[in-house]
Structure 1
Amino acid sequence: MEKKDIRIAVSSDRNFTPGVTAIRGGAHICTGLSGDKPGVLLYRDGKKAGTLRFTEEMRTGDIYTADLLTDHPEEYSYLLTDGKTAKTDPWGRFYPKKKRWGSERNYGHAVPSLLLGKELDWSGDRAPGTPLSETVIYRLHVRGFTKHASSGLGKEAGTFRGLIRKIPYLKDLGITAVELMPCYEFQEIITAPVPVDCRFDPKTRTLGKMIRKPTGKRNYWGYSEENCYFAPKAAYAAGEDGRNEFCEMVKAFHREGIEVYMEFYFPAGTPQTLITETARFWVCEYHIDGVRLSGAAQPAPLLNDPVLSETKIFALTMDGAGIPAGSSGRNAAFFAMDADTGRKDDEKQGRRAAEYNDGYLCDMRRVLRGDENQMQRLMDRICANPDGYGTVNYMANTNGFTMADMVSYEEKHNEANGENGKDGPRDNVTWNCGEEGKSRRAAVNGIRERQLDNAFLMLFLSQGIPLILAGDEFGNSQNGNNNAYCQDNATSWLNWTDLKKHAERHHFVRELIRFRKEHPVFHREEKPSHCDLRGFGLPDISFHGVNAWYPETDGPHRQLGILYCGDYAKRPDGTTDDTFYVMFNMHWISHKFGLPTLPDKKRWICVSDTGRKNSDAAETVMPLAEGYLTYVLKPRSIVILKAIDSGTAL
């Protein structure tokens, strides 16, 4: 075969993996097509290089499979054709002509995909394999994370390569996983139906024929009805080879012990086979560690897929997933093999399924706000740690206010979205601390800082998996916009100068993450029993009120104490953790708490008090006098006490 010759042949193995895969001597293609003359339009160096037609022998149902035989498949790009019209292959692997973000130039036109890119180099790559109980997730938008000029990244801003440049920052912060909002090829051009003519049809009570036209807005978030799920987004690549950039990004994260999760939006009606093949492809081709499902996809098929048996699966709910209590996150009825087949005796698989927890956000914001009748919800949410799967907790997420806006706004301010304020949630479950929006009043800003301290403490002291929305650790604000889906601008881009402005906030969050990691009592693998099952003298977790051992959860009470028995948690070196007492005063006046009595030769010291200036989750020591059995909590504050030996030097 001469160089640059290419021909089509009946596939020998009927591989139904969507799109193009490498084979010896060329490439294998699997695609869905109709029409009288279905085929492949080939291009080389931007010029048409011929047409290859599928034959009836290559068809199985609505799918055509064939081998494209050539010594140089990487030199070609292609479109599909039904014999009349050229079409983009939605299962393509990369689309170089989509490099320019938000360009309308390609809208409505077929865009070629690479036939086959260069083989990715995964040598030396090793997945971190972080257990869910030790995971701290950082959710970010690839473009928005570094696109602002303050990132200092120049031409690499807003790209996979730019994200690599920020890995040292994320490593220092202490997170263990990044969750990437959609970064496969999605349609970023937002359209709306427009009538071709204005004649009214009385039978259908509609205007005449409608077509969709661009509105000028951009789909910044990436939740689209038109998606090419098997291609990294070309507009997120700094160079021409987005496939290799994504590969290098994942490898760079893995070298620092950080996992990579990726969000996929599947609209209603997406075939389950496509959902499963998409997840398999990104795990096998790009080594991602977790799949976040949004839209209409259900987690059960992925949890029960043997190919994804070591992949973390995240979804809005695990209802219907059939996960038995105590399992690792799959229904064993789907398998003939044991869940731990092929593992050593000491390598029992941990949980790998987790559900996102909007209920946590709403309930904990009510607690933070000081609403009545919230102490029972605080008890439930802070200890939630279901058998069989994890729960992802957050105080802010993409759809809604950032954490800084959560304490600065009560009403949404979405005027820039151009929908007359009709978009976005109405009830944000927030309190603006006395003034709507930015404030120059020291008293207002002081309360806001304390409330943010409280919010982060509640998040990282909860038993579930904490998730931080990118920028919340240094006060990122969207100026009250709670639905910035179309804001590809400074509203959504992180302003890195805020890192200097809010250095104390960043330091507090970083030290709080470190504190959580050092104390497994706050992120146990097991569900709390609230009993002393092992005879240590204390329950694993117990609840208290202003009087020890007497929790009060009715109407006006806004105070709670939680005692964590360190004997029930083991550090990596096998030693037991410390015992902690965490007190919550969500009331707007001070309250005196009685402290649980400790065994002889033990006493309490203060680790953190958000009612005190310069509160720090690092173990700042404030000794309590011997025999001193009460502690006064200031308004809207949280205190952490730790039990130490009486003879320990301070």
Structure 2
Amino acid sequence: MTISPTKSHPALGAVLTEDGCDFRLVAPRAERVELALVNDDGTTIRNVDMRRDGKIWWTRVEGVNEGQRYGYRIHGEWNPDAGLRANPAKLLVDPYARAVTAGVDYTGPIFDHTAESDYEPDTRDSAQHVPLSVVVADSPAPEPIARRRPLEECVIYETHVKGFTIMHPAVPEHMRGRYAGLAYPAVIEHLKELGVNAIELLPLHQFVSEPFIMGRGLSNYWGYNTLAYFAPHGAYCSVGTEGDQVREFKNMVSALHRAGIEVILDVVYNHTCEGSHEGPTLSFRGIDHKGYYRLTDDLRNDYDVTGCGNSVDTGHEEVLDLIHESLRYWVTEMGVDGFRFDLATTLIRDSAHGVDQNHEFKKRLAADPVFDDIKLIAEPWDMGPYGYQVGRWGKGWSEWNDRYRGLVRDYWRSQVHGVSEFASRIAGSPDIFDHDDRPPSSSINFLDAHDGFCLRDLVSYNGKHNEANGEGNRDGSDDNRSWNCGAEGETDDPAVNALRHRQVRNMLATLIMSDGTPMFCAGDEMGRTQQGNNNAYCQDNRINWVHWDLLESWGDVFAAAKRFIALRASSPLLQADDYHYRTEVTDADGEPLGRYEMAWMNGYSGEMGEGDWNDGARRLLGKYVSDASGEAILTWFYAGDQPIEVTMPPLPWGTSYQIVASTADEGELPTEDLAPGQTFTMPGRTVVAMKVAVPTTAAQLSELTRPVAEPAAEPAVLEAVESAAQETTGPAQ
């Protein structure tokens, strides 16, 4: 093995060449950098001094092959008062590593400081106790999807790589819970049958568990604790962790793409696994504590707006470069179709920690053509000052809409004042997002996510039950807006269980029929439960895993979800790329057709009036959308618990009304088409979707609404009428 310093390859990280490997690391405050090449047993083969070129340290080592393990040692100033914590005793993961070996020995010397003081260096070597970077050979990118859909056509399915397939009976045992398991035909067939066309995968950048979680005998299951932003998590690979995870991930993406399913990654660029300065030193802190992290004014402590101990500082160019290049890598080399940014507000804070919607981070992505058709979804808040930024991310971004989540949950448990705000939420929340030329798909509508109750638990528990987390049930939100339908937790009461099924059907139907982009959690369609745990981040067990054996007993929910998703996919009216308003629909000649692109129906006379909107007890709302194509859709949402008579809107709203999907039980609704003015009995707590036949020309409308002249009566008829009148009242005087 020989060493020949070179600057011939511009890429950071480890890049194989014809006769070896180039290594490049950004470490502007380092005084010396060593590359450590490591054997499979963890012992060091040799340390190589790297050359400096400005902020970058580099070297080429001939004879290095794919699978070689390595790390870095940073020599420099130890001065916590200046934000400098260089400690060469700590072997560090390359921030640009494309694969990382698994595992941290939490009993080893993984902290850069002593047990006695956070500000005194620990000189014990950490090499035998920390993950290692792995040299990975280039390989072809995954098969691209035939067409990346605009968000308004997407139904997003949030899932966990392991939890989704670990209990799937058809997946081979060695593939369960792995990338290969998610790509398995039986799994993909379930997604296709359900109708989802985009999966959002919980974090799979290489992550590790926090020491305090490991100390309780648990682990970080969700993965919001990133160690390496270019490396797919090794534990999700079925065959190995020395580059195999890269190939298996790409194969998974190709299989999903062939099925027409897009892949969105939940990414955590706002903080890292190192926690505060009291936490372990595994990579970033040891390379440049002051450069990677936001620090308090005294530079001794982390300025934390994430609630996770540290906050990544995007005010520094090197950090922006890392995030930007990581995102580009996952698009161009790993084939993904979008990103959901965890605690995204942290990424747009300026050097004074203030929120800046014109931040360089957003400008870079907007200017880079790589992201032209890539989905960018913000979790639009963090824990810091002014961190709540819902509705403010601008064109090109979509955002998780927590106001949708809260209000629609309240609607179905009848804890709302009327239906006014409910109408705004299911219309795409125009009060929040309809500005700066933003479409309805800017609102990511959701009723549940990984964080909080799943849908079954939302209708089964009034309060959280997080005892298994070991925090005395103090963790997790207390604002659940849930209703247990009459019994806390599991019950044998058939009436309670039937109501729970119906309520889950109602919430899924509402989600799918709302303007905006729907997202729900894996297993919601088959009754997945977390046993009342609303913060199951540390439960890598049956609490979190999808139980596929529930699919039969919760088949009614699966069938309803499938029907409504298919209906949404069949109609452009339900995939709006612009907001619907009370704008008159016209025919091809510009003549008015007497109806509107959107209208709200009251269920007895037609359009909602002022009194209807001000009725705090109202629980029925009809959402009507139409265009000039000859089709309209009317969806009734009814949260009352007693049946109600619903009258079809009169002409010209429609000539007939056909029920095409509902959350009702079999036999509860009419099967024949309904005429204008005709009524039907709507059961309590039900969603009903109707296709409406409408005229497409002003001439058709005129013919339909023309008064019908009464025919002239025959003489014999007149004589009979006069005779009957005389018998009743006597002859006219």
TM-score, scaled to structure 2: 0.73
Shift of the 103–80 alpha-carbon distance from structure 1 to 2, 3 Å rule, reads closer
Aligned partner of residue 82 in structure 1, secondary structure: strand
- Residue of structure 1 in register with 2:681 after alignment: 632
Aligned partner of residue 118 in structure 1, secondary structure: coil
1:602 alignment partner AA: T
User: Which of 602, 611, 629 is the aligned partner of 2:655?
Assistant: 602
Q: Which moved more, 1:437-446 or 1:255-264?
A: 437-446
Q: CA deviation at 1:145?
A: 1.1
Counterpart CA distance in 2 for 1:284 and 1:138 is 23
User: Which of 452, 469, 484 is the aligned partner of 1:417?
Assistant: 469
Q: CA deviation at 1:463?
A: 0.9
Counterpart CA distance in 2 for 1:107 and 1:182 is 27
Counterpart CA distance in 1 for 2:376 and 2:676 is 49
Aligned partner of residue 451 in structure 1, secondary structure: helix
User: Which of 172, 178, 195 is the aligned partner of 2:199?
Assistant: 178
CA contact (8 A) 2:486 2:496 kept: yes
- Residue of structure 2 in register with 1:207 after alignment: none
Higher strand share: 1
Q: CA deviation at 1:481?
A: 0.7
User: Which of 541, 544, 549 is the aligned partner of 2:601?
Assistant: 544
Q: CA deviation at 1:152?
A: 4.4
Task: Give a deviation string over 1:535-562, Cα, whole Å, max 9, x none.
Answer: 3321111012133112423311112112
CA contact (8 A) 2:71 2:132 kept: yes
Aligned partner of residue 355 in structure 1, secondary structure: strand
Task: Give a deviation string over 1:176-205, Cα, whole Å, max 9, x none.
Answer: 11101111111124427xxxxxxxxxxxxx
User: Which of 558, 562, 573 is the aligned partner of 1:521?
Assistant: 573
- Residue of structure 1 in register with 2:413 after alignment: 369
User: Which of 7, 12, 15 is the aligned partner of 1:11?
Assistant: 7
User: Which of 539, 544, 565 is the aligned partner of 2:626?
Assistant: 565
CA contact (8 A) 1:177 1:258 kept: yes
Counterpart CA distance in 2 for 1:239 and 1:531 is 58
Shift of the 556–131 alpha-carbon distance from structure 1 to 2, 3 Å rule, reads same
User: Which of 602, 608, 613 is the aligned partner of 1:553?
Assistant: 613
Task: Give a deviation string over 1:289-337, Cα, whole Å, max 9, x none.
Answer: 101101223472454241323321110239599876xx6x2xxxxxxxx
- Residue of structure 2 in register with 1:38 after alignment: 33
1:81 alignment partner AA: R
CA contact (8 A) 1:413 1:482 kept: yes
- Residue of structure 1 in register with 2:50 after alignment: 54
Q: CA deviation at 1:594?
A: 2.6
Counterpart CA distance in 1 for 2:470 and 2:167 is 23
- Residue of structure 2 in register with 1:223 after alignment: 224
Counterpart CA distance in 2 for 1:370 and 1:481 is 23
Shift of the 637–254 alpha-carbon distance from structure 1 to 2, 3 Å rule, reads same
CA contact (8 A) 1:181 1:262 kept: yes
CA contact (8 A) 1:373 1:553 kept: no
CA contact (8 A) 2:595 2:653 kept: no
Task: Give a deviation string over 1:262-292, Cα, whole Å, max 9, x none.
Answer: 0112225313313223212211221111011
Query: Structure 1: 5+ residue runs without aligned partners?
Result: 193-212, 330-352, 568-575
2:175 alignment partner AA: E
- Residue of structure 1 in register with 2:117 after alignment: none
Counterpart CA distance in 2 for 1:417 and 1:124 is 40
CA contact (8 A) 1:607 1:621 kept: no
CA contact (8 A) 2:39 2:69 kept: yes
Q: CA deviation at 1:358?
A: 1.2
Q: Does 1:81 align with 2:76?
A: no
Counterpart CA distance in 1 for 2:398 and 2:364 is 13
Shift of the 139–322 alpha-carbon distance from structure 1 to 2, 3 Å rule, reads closer
Rg: which structure is higher?
A: 2
Q: CA deviation at 1:492?
A: 0.3
Q: Which moved more, 1:633-642 or 1:467-476?
A: 633-642
Q: CA deviation at 1:505?
A: 1.8
Q: Does 1:238 align with 2:238?
A: yes
User: Which of 284, 297, 303 is the aligned partner of 2:347?
Assistant: 297
Q: Does 1:578 align with 2:578?
A: no
- Residue of structure 2 in register with 1:357 after alignment: 401
Counterpart CA distance in 2 for 1:144 and 1:106 is 30
- Residue of structure 2 in register with 1:444 after alignment: 496
Task: Give a deviation string over 1:202-248, Cα, whole Å, max 9, x none.
Answer: xxxxxxxxxxx834221111122x52111111111001210111111
- Residue of structure 2 in register with 1:125 after alignment: 144
Shift of the 103–218 alpha-carbon distance from structure 1 to 2, 3 Å rule, reads farther
Shift of the 305–280 alpha-carbon distance from structure 1 to 2, 3 Å rule, reads farther
Q: Does 1:154 align with 2:149?
A: no
CA contact (8 A) 1:360 1:395 kept: yes
Q: Which moved more, 1:518-527 or 1:37-46?
A: 37-46
Shift of the 72–19 alpha-carbon distance from structure 1 to 2, 3 Å rule, reads closer
CA contact (8 A) 2:324 2:365 kept: no
Q: CA deviation at 1:393?
A: 0.8
Q: Which moved more, 1:249-258 or 1:70-79?
A: 70-79
Query: Structure 2: 5+ residue runs without aligned partners?
Result: 76-87, 111-125, 272-304, 306-310, 315-319, 349-360, 382-388, 587-591, 696-733
Counterpart CA distance in 1 for 2:179 and 2:584 is 49
CA contact (8 A) 1:94 1:242 kept: no
Counterpart CA distance in 2 for 1:423 and 1:293 is 23
1:41 alignment partner AA: A
Aligned residues: CA RMSD: 2.8
- Residue of structure 1 in register with 2:280 after alignment: none
Counterpart CA distance in 1 for 2:64 and 2:631 is 62
TM alignment of 1:237-386, pairs within 5 A: 237-240=237-240, 241-265=244-268, 266-267=270-271, 268=305, 269-272=311-314, 273=320, 274-295=322-343, 296-298=346-348, 300-301=362-363, 303-306=365-368, 307-317=370-380, 319=389, 329=396, 353-384=397-428, 386=434
Shift of the 410–509 alpha-carbon distance from structure 1 to 2, 3 Å rule, reads same
Q: CA deviation at 1:367?
A: 0.8
Counterpart CA distance in 1 for 2:177 and 2:4 is 39
- Residue of structure 2 in register with 1:333 after alignment: none
Counterpart CA distance in 1 for 2:467 and 2:634 is 45
Shift of the 499–626 alpha-carbon distance from structure 1 to 2, 3 Å rule, reads closer
Aligned partner of residue 622 in structure 1, secondary structure: coil
CA contact (8 A) 1:303 1:313 kept: no
- Residue of structure 1 in register with 2:85 after alignment: none
Aligned partner of residue 445 in structure 1, secondary structure: helix
Q: Does 1:191 align with 2:194?
A: no
Aligned partner of residue 481 in structure 2, secondary structure: coil
Q: Which moved more, 1:68-77 or 1:488-497?
A: 68-77
Counterpart CA distance in 2 for 1:365 and 1:577 is 34
